Amino acid sequence: MSQKNYLPIGSVVLLKEGKKRLMIYGRRQLVKDGEKEYDYSACLYPEGMLNSKDVVLFNHDQIQMIYFIGFQDIEELHFRSLLKNSDE
């Protein structure tokens, strides 16, 4: 498994062939009782999550453009290192 450089919560991205920007609010999202894992969960930007059907799940390689990188502090950097280490 290749190491991923996860984007921080709050990052705003556009997916390949996407028409609307998304704001990341979760990472390493499991679905269907852990059968499938996605790198990110996101909601529409700037609307936000209006209901549970608005969740968008995707992987890092689907990102075409990064518009904004979310808040990063020591806690975020530590958590991201834990995510990276669990990918190894």
pLDDT tops 90 at residue 78: yes
**Mean pLDDT within 55-81:** 96
pLDDT above 80 (res 88): no
Query: Is the bond leading into 8 cis (omega within 30 degrees of zero)?
Result: no
Whether 29 is in a domain gets the answer yes
- Residue 77 belongs to some domain of the structure: yes
Looking at every residue in the chain, the average pLDDT score rounds to: 91
Q: How far is CA 23 from CA 3, 35, 40, 68, 85, in A?
A: 22, 24, 10, 9, 24
pLDDT for residue 9 is more than 60 = yes
Distance CA 21, CA 32 (A): 26
**3-state secondary structure (DSSP) of residue 9:** coil
Do the domain assignments include residue 7? no
Q: What is the pLDDT of residues 14-41, one digit of tens each?
A: 999 999 999 999 999 988 776 899 999 9
Domain that holds residue 25: 12-83
Residue 5, in any domain of the structure: no
41 within domain boundaries: yes
Whether residue 1 is contained in a domain is answered as no
In the predicted model, what is the mean pLDDT of residues 36-47?
Answer: 96
Domain-located, residue 19: yes
Number of folded domains that form the chain: 1
HSE-CB for 14 with a 13 A CA cutoff: 9
45 located within any domain: yes
